[in-house]
Amino acid sequence: MAVAIIGYCAFINLYSPQALLPLLQREFNATASDISYLITVSVLAVAMTAPFTGTVADVIGRRRVILTAMAVIGLPAIGGALSGSLSELMIWRFVQGLLLPPIFAVAIAYIGEEFKPRQATAAIGLYTAGASLGGFSGRFLTGLITDAAGWRTAFVCLAAINFIGAVVVFFLLPRERNFVRSAGLMTSARQMLAHLRNPKLIATFAVGFGVLFNFIGLFTFINFHLAAPPYLLTPSLLGAIFFTYLFGSATAPSVGRLVARFGRRRLMIGLIAAWIAGTALTLAAPLWVILVGLTICAACGLMCQAVSTGYVALTAQAGRSSAVGLYATCFYIGGTFGGALCSLAFRYGDYPACVALLVVVLALMAGIVALFWSADIPPPTALPVKHR
């Protein structure tokens, strides 16, 4: 339960302005490309701090880092609510992004260290379910509260949720039992560099890059597509489209069973193929077909994230926090590029150009998995092969 709440509180913050982007575009008299950077700046901040967070956590402990960050993560939301300009709001979003890796990156390392492999895969599925529910809540609640009381009140409400979550996790999250403190920051840094010589980890980092590239590109610019004619959706209705995330929350805990049945490589390639189909469906005219496509994308994307983060946590034999930190860095650099490149695509080719770009990146991800992911890490329930 503690791990699920950690995921929820981290991701209720990161994407919370997405349903509000068209409204904030009008309020601050900005272009769609400019206002989309409210998401990009937070993602960039996460990418900048993720590896260093892992290094510090390897030295001072996972639980301490997680709880400290959760205790203060709501403050930038309050600062954002008091912002008088778009640039000021972006600064607060950047600060909030700096505080996110100490929550989620360290939580993944905690899972990989405190649970046995099969239990770790299931726990990461629960964490991913909490994260997806948080991602949905951040978008839906901000849209709902904005229509009722304004976007500034919505940001303050998110800050209150974060504070409550920090208190609950303080009482629920057990102290580490298997944590081995690194000898120092330099030792942890050397472990982080060693990860860059592991081809399996590098390939997984590239997959993580593509996962958030697609999430940011799709779930940011679909809002501008649906706020325009003929749909003309309000902030609360734009927030409601993220009910599709709940399907992802329901499917993510099944990752452990699916890995055991199909293996990581086969499962990832199948999920990416379905993700491509879902992305293509968002080009359809009927709104219900678009929602089906978004549901498929949310489920496949969250399951891909659960499989790849589990692969990192189980592959790294030492310095798991730094390995997960490097994965998070690549993941969020991918989100930064997804926001920036899809912004250019939207400017010159509108939403269909964004979809074309996203499909290309998904195809590259499938190729990387097929070429570089091996079957030498067996599914959690696999039996040893007897050689004759």
Residue pair 42/103 in contact (Cβ under 8 Å)? The answer is no
Q: pLDDT tens-digit profile of 92-138?
A: 999 999 998 888 778 877 887 777 767 777 787 788 778 878 888 88
181 within a domain of the structure (yes/no): no
Query: Residue 93's domain is classified under what CATH number?
Result: 1.20.1250.20
Q: How far apart are CA 262 and CA 270, in angstroms?
A: 10
387 within a domain of the structure (yes/no): no
Amino acid at 26: R
Helix (H, G, I), strand (E, B) or coil at 340: helix
Q: Using omega within 30 degrees of 0 as the cis cutoff, is the peptide bond preceding 384 cis?
A: no
What pLDDT, on the 0 to 100 scale, is given for residue 375?
60
50 within a domain of the structure (yes/no): yes
378 within a domain of the structure (yes/no): no
| Residue 17 belongs to domain spanning | 2-174+190-372
265 within a domain of the structure (yes/no): yes
What pLDDT, on the 0 to 100 scale, is given for residue 284?
94
Q: Count structural domains, the chain.
A: 1
Q: pLDDT tens-digit profile of 7-64?
A: 898 888 888 888 888 889 988 988 888 888 898 898 888 888 876 776 677 677 778 8
Residue 254 has pLDDT above 60, yes or no: yes
Q: How far apart are CA 62 and CA 181, in angstroms?
A: 10
Label residue 378 by pLDDT band (50, 70, 90). very low
Residue among 113, 128, 7, 137 nearest 61 (CA): 113
Label residue 380 by pLDDT band (50, 70, 90). very low
Q: How far apart are CA 94 and CA 78, in angstroms?
A: 13
Q: How far apart are CA 17 and CA 39, in angstroms?
A: 7
Q: How far apart are CA 264 and CA 258, in angstroms?
A: 8
Residue 388 has pLDDT above 50, yes or no: no
Least confident segment among 68-82, 89-103, 105-119, 211-225: 105-119
161 within a domain of the structure (yes/no): yes
Residue 376 has pLDDT above 70, yes or no: no
Cα 236-241-247 angle, rounded to 5 deg: 135
Which structure tokens are listed for 76?
A: 């930038």
Helix (H, G, I), strand (E, B) or coil at 317: coil
What pLDDT, on the 0 to 100 scale, is given for residue 381?
40
Residue 170 has pLDDT above 60, yes or no: yes
Q: pLDDT tens-digit profile of 327-359?
A: 878 888 898 899 889 989 998 889 999 999 999
Which structure tokens are listed for 295?
A: 């549901």
Write the DSSP symbol of residue 243: G
**First-last CA distance in the chain:** 45
What pLDDT, on the 0 to 100 scale, is given for residue 3?
87
384 within a domain of the structure (yes/no): no
215 within a domain of the structure (yes/no): yes
